[in-house]
Structure 1
Amino acid sequence: MALEEAGDAAEVHRVFEEMPIVMYAMAGPDHRIVAANAVARAISGRPGQVGRTVAEVFPGALTQQILEVYDRVYRTGVAQPALEWRLQVEREDGRREEKYWDFVVSPRFDESGAVIGLTQYSVEVTGRVREREAERQRAELAERRYARARDVVVALQLELLPGGMPVLPRARAAAGYLPAEADTAAGGDWFDALALSDGRLALILGDVAGHGVAASATMGQLRAVVQDRLLDGGDIAAALAAADRLAGRLPAARGATVCVAILDPADGSLVYCTAGHPPPLLVGAGGPSRYLPATGAGPLGGGGGPFPLGSDRLAVGDLLLLVSDGLIERPGREYAESLVELANVAEDTAADRVLRDSGLTPVQRVCVQTIELLLRPTGHSDDVTMLAVQRVLPPAPLRRSFGATLESIAPAHAAIGDWLRELGAGDKDVTALRHAVSELVTNSIQHAYRGGAPGRVRLSADLDIDGQVRVEVADDGRWHEHPPSISGGLGLVLVEQMVHQFRLRRGHHGTTAEVRHRITTPARLLIAERVGPSVAGDPELLLVLDQPSAPGPRVRLDGPVTAATAGVLAKELQRLTRNGTRPLTVDLTGVTLLASAGVVVLQHVLRRDAEHDGSLVLYAPAGSPAQHVLTLSAMPHRTDDPHAAA
């Protein structure tokens, strides 16, 4: 086409400059920018883009897989689109902005047909993605939504996999799992992390060929055998020999691969076996990554092993990754190339150099972000599973002391919550132990220091080598029984039901309440789009918020309902229900802690409502802290939103 057919040069330049999308033209294999419109220049906030390479203008392109797309298009001469990529751009002033983009990278050719450069146009779609994320967060928890949407085969597989990873003083574990054909198929990948009685941590990652009922059932049988043998002495060779014998009798299990590793967090010693499975990857805290040597054992079902062991040692800060072949054998990737790419991306995510400030621990970050970054250019055709453990320094024990007043309840349950989240404990465990601490602090204040007598309440928490948290709430007062009441003893009953062990010791010099509870960190079932952002911390004030847009009278509670805030709630509910004569829906979705004092208030309001034939409705979504306590207390409530249709 003759140049004049494109239009006047000045007009073409003006149109290019004013296009409301990002447009770049690049030359050469190093992708040197030769043209950039106004929107493109404004993205980085860096002057003088033209004449510099993409890597110089956007340093984050080196770790966010962008240059890999450019290199492939330049090498193959085939355009490549990308949808909703999450990218972080570091501006000239050091600020990092995270946004989502749709973009297309296309080759530029010379007269002979050789590739001489690239063009790229991009459209920001952050608003679209954020809106979708907001809708997801307003829905019920992702795990429950997935459980309802999946068929019975997938539900079976998820039931067979562990819901959480143990948390040990010197080791942090995490897992990420993405099923093949998300939402429609169940695969044969399985994983486990077991806290052994001597303080060691066993990690297992296996893969049964195929999908569907047979693969899930076979996986469950193999997992049970390996788990049982490891818990009975921690002998890897004996566990694999037992699984091998089972696989010899089960045709569906023949050829299954498994990697087992046992870490002693105290000294970092590691023993492992790769039975036909990809070798573990060690991401060093102060050096490059390296794959551990395969031990030479074959897949299960081959007839008796042998199962030789390898050994290594983890320094403090080192990460060990076990991965399924679904992450290595990705579409369009050679095996060796994929191994190198996995090691590089795992290094970057472990060091928090990519999608920074995620709020995840290093092992959680590696499991989530590595899978996201590696799969978004290629997709996946098989289950993808990653299991990670990091050797860490033991956490400092929690030691706090509070005045014996109701105002101490909020800082006490905030202190235990912050300490547990630093350990990576899951929401259910945090909720249970925060509830227990609030009840026990309230108990000390009301029984040990009757009538407002001065005193102190001491809170301590330790993490034992077997993954149990030991919490003590102690005082120096003398126990005083209260007159019988509706709420008498309810708080301690709830504590006993929510934790694994509870003991109360009373003496002449004070009362000590001891709670033991084994904590875990959640294993993450990933979704094809991405893992959502972390949720903001809980408020410490109780807010009673009117909902004027609801079709009927409705309020939402946000924050903790404890002895310190229950009085405010009682007055508000009395006013809003007009002493039980006015209908009201109470949305407990935002309640972070429902202590026994709050239960008593709600019981009283329900009883008063029934006397006046009113229509008070308590709404607590399934899985929420309030729903758990209301169920234990046998109080009527709804888990579905009564105003959802409206």
Structure 2
Amino acid sequence: MSAEDIGDAETVRRVFERMPIAMLAMEGPEHRIIAVNALARELSGRAHQVGGTVAEVFPAALTQQVLAILDRAYRTGVTQKALEWRLQLEHDDGSRPESYFDIVVTPHRDDSGAVVGLSQYSVEVSDRVREREAERQRAERAERRYARARDVVVAMQLELLPGGLPVLPRARAAAGYLPADADTAAGGDWFDALALSDGRLALVLGDVAGHGVAASATMGQLRAVVQDRLLDDGDITVALAAANRLAGRLPAARGATICVAVLDPADGTLEYCTAGHPPPLLVGAGGPSRYLPATGAPPLGGGDHFPLGADRLAVGDLLLLVSDGLIERPGREYAESLVELANVAEDTAGDRVLRDSGLTVAQRVCVQTIELLLRPTGHTDDVTMLAVQRVPPPSPLGLSLTASTAAIGRAHVAVGEWLRALGASDKDIAGIRHAVSELVTNCVQHAYRGGPPGRVRLSAELDTGGEVRVEVADDGSWHEHPPAVTGGLGLVLVEQMVHQFRLRRGHRGTTAEIRHRITTPARLLIAERIGPSPAGEPDLLLVLDQPAAPAPRVRLDGPITLATAGFLATELQRFTLNGTRSLTVDLTGVTLLASAGVVVFQHAVRRAADQDGDLVLYAPAGSPAQHVLTLSALPHTTTDPHTGA
């Protein structure tokens, strides 16, 4: 080789090393890495890659579908592209950062034209994806704020599908729904999970042909009939017979497919029927997945015989009901798609794909399985998945706290963590935590007046019907107080926040009991956020001055409880110059507004009015503060006074 050739090779090496895109060269069908540039090493977090295969260096490439597109490029000789794929690659330091990439895989050929290797070019596009997601979230908040009229088809779909699924002590349910057309979000798929009176759980997944208003209306009628019959006694054949009669009178319902399953979480016994519908998939806790045998029932309107199948779920087993939109994907044979679904469901159930999601197993399988399967193929029909996992019953919550202001924050956090572990919805968590905070505050303020601090006992449990029962008890004395002293709001707010509230008073103390049926959210996947919601909230209230605002304004972030109400009162006096200066208070970041905080605002509003000032409380529609201010009849605005938004 001449000096000139060596110089040219060195130039090529330097250019390759400094390229502003991540580049990887591979040879052979096992994709052995032969060259990697600096940016690829940096993004992958792996310093030593050359010589190993992609599967050896990046085990996650197998479960996250990257190896599949490499295999396809090598096998077909056609360039493959993957846009905005969410990946987690394990770095040398053990971390697993999550990023989005655009990936292009190009085949290399020898002189005879045979494929002998591949080149992979990757560009990280995380900022682009997250900015678009942030923009989507801003649009959603604007939609709620302005309460704009939705398209009638979207409104029907959101109304007809359940907003939440029951949470039972021995069963965790979840659902994921992805419409065929993100602009209309309406089709004929539906799902239901119903807590029956005997402790069993009924699962329904159905599919009416077509999209639009007609399909949604038909789906709504079928769902109502099946739900009504199942809630009577859980008899699958009775429910399907009723739906079949409706299909005989309603032409649009003929040919609808449906799968109904009834699980007894106590012993795992399962009955099911597949009326023209794909069979359920059982993902074993310690073994391979398997499809349950189809029962042979026809679609609705095609016959009146609905035979049942039976099986049993062990603790940890997961049952999946899916619509055919997830199986009949573009470019996939039916049998191939069934195998792929089972494999991906096993990986997501085992948390071997996108880890640390903050979701329950059932939620994780619904979200990640749909995402991973649709990455390479897309979808042309609605995609729906309903999952239930049989789990050990949760331990009840029990705390004994000193009746001080610190107990309020501890109870607030403990109840939130316990409910979040059950998979409860944010709305249920907020309501129950608020009620508990008010009840503990009541004990702290009144139970032991005139004496040393006593104890506050907090207990919580989930019954077989999916209802949370919480007790807050003390050993002190009950005192009646005029509204002028306490604001008279605490117990009133408790009654508004939960389904049932009962107070038992006695010589040995007072016990407050609340009952609230909790649900776990069903997920419309076009609205998914990036990353899990926070695991907890700080017991810290921030009062932030906003000097860039056109008029005096502060923003509050954090919980307003008895523990922080005194600080808030002092800060409001300071910013309003004891009521003589007008002030706007932005409550967007308030995570909890207890009655103690409402009293502070009442006094501040009154003080400002006495001094010819004006205290404006801004709480966006749907925020925790807006809900409490409405219940308390405290004047406020849901429109930003300075932007009009």
**Superposition TM-score tier, normalisation by shorter sequence:** over 0.9
Q: Which residue of 1 aligns with 2:491?
A: 492
Check the 8 A contact 2:348/2:369 in 1, yes or no.
yes
Equivalent residue letter for 1:628: H
Q: Which residue of 2 aligns with 1:196?
A: 196
TM-score relative to the length of structure 1: 0.95
Q: Which residue of 2 aligns with 1:586?
A: 585
Check the 8 A contact 1:44/1:57 in 2, yes or no.
no
Q: CA deviation at 1:615?
A: 3.3
Q: Which residue of 2 aligns with 1:401?
A: 400
Q: Which residue of 1 aligns with 2:166?
A: 166
Unaligned runs of 5+ in 1: none
Q: CA deviation at 1:602?
A: 1.1
Q: Which residue of 1 aligns with 2:33?
A: 33
Distance in 2 (CA, whole Å) between partners of 1:37 and 1:233 is 65
- Residues 273 and 174 (structure 1), Cα distance of their counterparts in 2 relative to 1, 3 Å cut: same
Q: Which residue of 1 aligns with 2:270?
A: 270
Check the 8 A contact 1:346/1:366 in 2, yes or no.
yes
Distance in 2 (CA, whole Å) between partners of 1:373 and 1:380 is 12
Check the 8 A contact 2:108/2:119 in 1, yes or no.
yes
TM-score relative to the length of structure 2: 0.95
Distance in 2 (CA, whole Å) between partners of 1:237 and 1:23 is 59
Q: CA deviation at 1:442?
A: 1.5
Alignment map for 1:154-233 (pairs within 5 Å):
154-233=154-233
Distance in 2 (CA, whole Å) between partners of 1:165 and 1:573 is 42
- Residues 600 and 48 (structure 1), Cα distance of their counterparts in 2 relative to 1, 3 Å cut: closer
Check the 8 A contact 2:196/2:231 in 1, yes or no.
yes
- Residues 59 and 579 (structure 1), Cα distance of their counterparts in 2 relative to 1, 3 Å cut: same
Q: CA deviation at 1:185?
A: 4.2
Distance in 1 (CA, whole Å) between partners of 2:388 and 2:142 is 25
Q: CA deviation at 1:45?
A: 4.1
Task: Give deviations 1:491-530, integer Å, cap 9, x for gaps.
Answer: 11111111100111111111111100000011111118x5
Check the 8 A contact 1:225/1:242 in 2, yes or no.
yes
Q: CA deviation at 1:222?
A: 0.2
Alignment map for 1:28-67 (pairs within 5 Å):
28-67=28-67
- Residues 281 and 95 (structure 1), Cα distance of their counterparts in 2 relative to 1, 3 Å cut: same
Q: CA deviation at 1:146?
A: 12
Distance in 1 (CA, whole Å) between partners of 2:218 and 2:36 is 56
Distance in 1 (CA, whole Å) between partners of 2:143 and 2:82 is 27
Distance in 2 (CA, whole Å) between partners of 1:327 and 1:146 is 35
Alignment map for 1:343-362 (pairs within 5 Å):
343-362=342-361
Q: Which residue of 1 aligns with 2:106?
A: 106
Q: Which residue of 1 aligns with 2:511?
A: 512
Check the 8 A contact 1:326/1:381 in 2, yes or no.
yes
Q: Which residue of 2 aligns with 1:553?
A: 552
Q: Which residue of 1 aligns with 2:441?
A: 442
Equivalent residue letter for 1:270: L
Distance in 2 (CA, whole Å) between partners of 1:308 and 1:326 is 24
Partner secondary structure for residue 14 of structure 2: helix
Q: Which residue of 2 aligns with 1:414?
A: 413
Distance in 1 (CA, whole Å) between partners of 2:384 and 2:327 is 10
Partner secondary structure for residue 446 of structure 1: helix
Distance in 2 (CA, whole Å) between partners of 1:6 and 1:131 is 45
Q: Which residue of 1 aligns with 2:624?
A: 625
Distance in 2 (CA, whole Å) between partners of 1:62 and 1:613 is 69
Query: Does residue 424 of the first structure (1) align with residue 386 of the second (2)?
Result: no
Check the 8 A contact 1:402/1:408 in 2, yes or no.
yes
- Residues 58 and 150 (structure 1), Cα distance of their counterparts in 2 relative to 1, 3 Å cut: farther
Check the 8 A contact 2:174/2:387 in 1, yes or no.
yes
Check the 8 A contact 2:88/2:354 in 1, yes or no.
yes
- Residues 134 and 419 (structure 1), Cα distance of their counterparts in 2 relative to 1, 3 Å cut: same
Q: Which residue of 2 aligns with 1:563?
A: 562
Check the 8 A contact 2:184/2:212 in 1, yes or no.
no
Partner secondary structure for residue 418 of structure 1: helix
Q: CA deviation at 1:460?
A: 0.6
Check the 8 A contact 1:205/1:258 in 2, yes or no.
yes
Query: Does residue 85 of the first structure (1) align with residue 85 of the second (2)?
Result: yes
Task: Give deviations 1:528-581, integer Å, cap 9, x for gaps.
Answer: 8x5421122211111112223333322111221112211111111111112332
Check the 8 A contact 2:487/2:599 in 1, yes or no.
no
Q: CA deviation at 1:93?
A: 3.1
Q: CA deviation at 1:299?
A: 0.5
Task: Give deviations 1:259-317, integer Å, cap 9, x for gaps.
Answer: 1111100001111111111111111110001111101001111142x111111111111
Q: CA deviation at 1:35?
A: 2.3
Tell me the number of residue pairs that the alignment of Structure 1 and Structure 2 aligns: 641
Distance in 1 (CA, whole Å) between partners of 2:257 and 2:549 is 55
Task: Give deviations 1:79-123, integer Å, cap 9, x for gaps.
Answer: 122221111111223222221111111122233333222211111
Q: Which residue of 2 aligns with 1:527?
A: 526
Q: CA deviation at 1:150?
A: 5.2
Distance in 1 (CA, whole Å) between partners of 2:432 and 2:142 is 23
Partner secondary structure for residue 526 of structure 2: coil
Query: Does residue 247 of the first structure (1) align with residue 276 of the second (2)?
Result: no
Equivalent residue letter for 2:375: R
Moved more, 329-338 or 449-458: 449-458
Moved more, 43-52 or 10-19: 43-52
Distance in 2 (CA, whole Å) between partners of 1:13 and 1:612 is 76
Query: Does residue 323 of the first structure (1) align with residue 322 of the second (2)?
Result: yes
- Residues 508 and 41 (structure 1), Cα distance of their counterparts in 2 relative to 1, 3 Å cut: closer
Q: CA deviation at 1:611?
A: 3.3
- Residues 489 and 146 (structure 1), Cα distance of their counterparts in 2 relative to 1, 3 Å cut: closer
Q: Which residue of 1 aligns with 2:596?
A: 597
Query: Does residue 478 of the first structure (1) align with residue 514 of the second (2)?
Result: no
Q: CA deviation at 1:619?
A: 1.6
Equivalent residue letter for 1:38: A
Q: Which residue of 1 aligns with 2:363?
A: 364
